Amino acid sequence: MVSLVRFVFILAHYISDKLRVESAKETFMANRSENQNPFFEVWNTPFGLAPFDKIAPEHFAPAFTSALIEHDAQIAAIAGAQEPASFQNVIEALERSGRALRRVGRVFFNLAATDSRPALQAIEREMSPKLAAHGAAISMNADLFRRIDAVPAEGLNEEQARVLTRIHKDFVRSGARLNEAQKARMARIVERMAVLGTQFGQNLLADEADFVMELGEADMAGLPDLLRASAARRAKERGLSCAYAITLSRSHVEPFLESSTRRDLRETLFNAFVARGARGGASDNHTIINEIVALRAEKAALLGYPTYAHYKLDDTMAKTPDAVRGLLDQVWEKGRARALQEAADLQGMADSEGANFKIAAHDWRYYSSKLRAAKFAIDDAQVKPYFELENIRAAAFDVADRLFGLTFEERKGLALYHPDVRAFEVKNAQGAHVALFVADDFARASKRSGAWMTAFRSQQKLDGDVRPIIVNVLNVAKPGAGEPALLSLDEARTLFHEFGHALHGMLSDVLYPRISGTSVSSDFVELPSQLFEHWLTQPDVLRRFARHVKTGEAMPEDLLERILAMRTFNQGFATVEYCSSAYVDMDFHALAHPVNVDSAAFTRKRLEAISMPAEIAMRHATSHFAHVFSGEGYSAGYYSYLWSEVLDADAFDAFLETGDAFDPVVAQRLHEFIYSAGGKREPDDAYIAFRGRLPTPDALLRKRGLAEAAE
């Protein structure tokens, strides 16, 4: 219970803040014809979608300012309340607070990642440290934590108890129990890391946008027609005098490295791709990495952990760095052995063609593609016509229907944030609205590379049945007007992967925002996405949806069989490029006192320690390892894809054991305990509820074809 004097002070502060909020709103609502700010209005739009046609960059700063003031006032009211702490007046009040801030933040950061421009980047640089400081002030608010600490656990149901546990742990892990001097230092660390993470991402985007390899007709030998057409359009879009332009979009880089007969150009493009964030000058990320690693180690030490890796993993399924290394070591040994065999095979092919050089990293994809064609009589030009974007999305929708009873109807005429973006209403088997699904498929210079799922609104039922608005972002090469977008098998797999994340968000069925959708352990969150990938290559799915873009004919059975047969092809390479990145991530964050670390030299040393094959590069070189350094989401956590793969391989076996990849009983358990459950349970408990036991790595090794790999 706070003193009367303190209560009066808090109440005055609360009233003052409320007046400031209203003043801010009134200022920007005054001229409704020109200066109207959509963030100060109720969105009476279809599905409550943001009115993107009315939102301009200048709306964000005042909207953020107003939302921050409002949230501060809400927190002050919760922390200063006189009545005894209860789940309702503390935890539920916290869950309701900050809605305006979440609304503007979700719109802004989605646009900053998908349709960035200088005005948005400037706002991001300004707001990221402010938002970090705001979050730190809340998580280290002593009065608020005392209220949380005092909430009685008796009489709570399972979901309430879980939310209380998660929120309490979040506050402790954010520094709520530190002394005042430690809290002040923690706040400075958090704010500085936000600045550095933003700069890391913007540097990477700048390097990706700035590079272009200008080519003429003589430079295009071996390239498929689709890539040639895309490169011609890119040259025209950039106003270049050359006939073709290759950029650092992965949708350009991968097919170029696989098909170009010009080794010199492959080397140039590959070196530029791996050097993103390491080109020197203003966009170089090495000094940023060094400072981030040092600050993270200091943060962990303040919280009582020996290293940042120990801190981060304490709240995961893995629990300890030793457990992560144990899994990585087991898979690395077999993966590296297979990769060395693959390298020898590629060298043999190059030698047979009279090549007078040792296979290098920029050669791998080229010769691997040729070897794949020789072994399986398959190349991308043969496969892509059967993987048209619309058909593959229809396949993903159909799988979701067969597993979970969902249907998808495109909703045209909505005000979306880019002309390429599309929206689909999702309904359940009873015809009730479930979610709005938004698809942003095509690469553009203003979009961050990669693929991801995010949300404009998450599901929750604390105040009515709030339905989610979920976004999938891809970076597929955009075709010419009237032409179909064709995918590689890897791109089709990525679409299924991200749609698995989307289903995790759309099917969420919880009361509280804190445990909604993908709000689960970082090494559990990839289970729904990686598991969903399995259905792409189910024979009956391919027979129905892998149809030739021109003839409409189903994929020939012999081609289908060859595609299925090559599922474990090149898995040594895939395992090594992934695991090496996971090792380096863990090594950086296992440093207890990382002062003045030379990130480039440290990376080389760690790769030497695991005997990294010279012919393979890390999937994510440190300088552009956005998963790890553009925010804390996957820091000391890149291993989680592999950890989740142990789960997804074993989980799909649950279907195979029935003889039906769509077995309704297993699908119902999957829906109940994984896809709709959010963070209701500890990950181990959720998996056991679905499967009856925890998995072993055996299914993963079989999936990758590494079960018998040996040195």
- Bridge partners (DSSP) of residue 244 are 215
* Strand-pair category, 433-442 with 244-246: unpaired
3-state secondary structure of 285: coil
The conformation of residue 218, written as its DSSP 8-state character, comes to G
Distance in angstroms (rounded) separating the CA atoms of residues 705 and 709: 8
- DSSP reduced 3-state for 472: strand
Alpha-carbon distance 594 to 382, whole Å? 50
Secondary structure letter of residue 675 according to DSSP: I
**How far is the C-alpha of 669 from the C-alpha of 666, rounded, in Å?**
5
Q: For 487, which DSSP code?
A: -
- Phi, psi angles (nearest 5°) of residue 598: -85, 100
d(CA 176, CA 138): 9
Rounded Cα gap, residues 133 and 113, in angstroms: 22
Coil, helix or strand for 324? Answer: helix
**Phi, psi torsion values for 246, nearest 5 degrees:** -105, 130
Question: Taking the C-alpha atoms of 598, 601, 602 and 603 in order, what is their torsion angle to the nearest 10 degrees?
Answer: 120
From its phi and psi, is residue 68 left (phi > 0), alpha (psi between -120 and 50) or beta? alpha
Given the residues 70, 258, 342, 498, the one annotated as active site: 498
**One-letter identity of residue 350:** A
Q: How far apart are CA 173 and CA 312, in angstroms?
A: 9
What kind and span of H or E run contains 124? helix 118-139
- Give the angle 339-345-346 at the CA atoms, nearest 5°: 90
CB 293 within 8 A of CB 632: no
Query: Which tokens is 486 given?
Result: 């064709």
Any catalytic annotation for residue 58? no
**Coil/strand/helix, residue 407:** strand
Residues 6+ positions from 431 with CB-CB distance below 8 Å: none
Residue 395 Cα distances to 433, 493, 497, 541, 615, angstroms: 21, 11, 13, 7, 36
Cα separation, 197 vs 292, in Å, equals 8
- Rounded to 10 degrees, the C-alpha dihedral 7/10/12/16 comes to -160
| Stretch (H or E) spanning 410 | strand 407-410
The residues annotated as belonging to the active site are 498
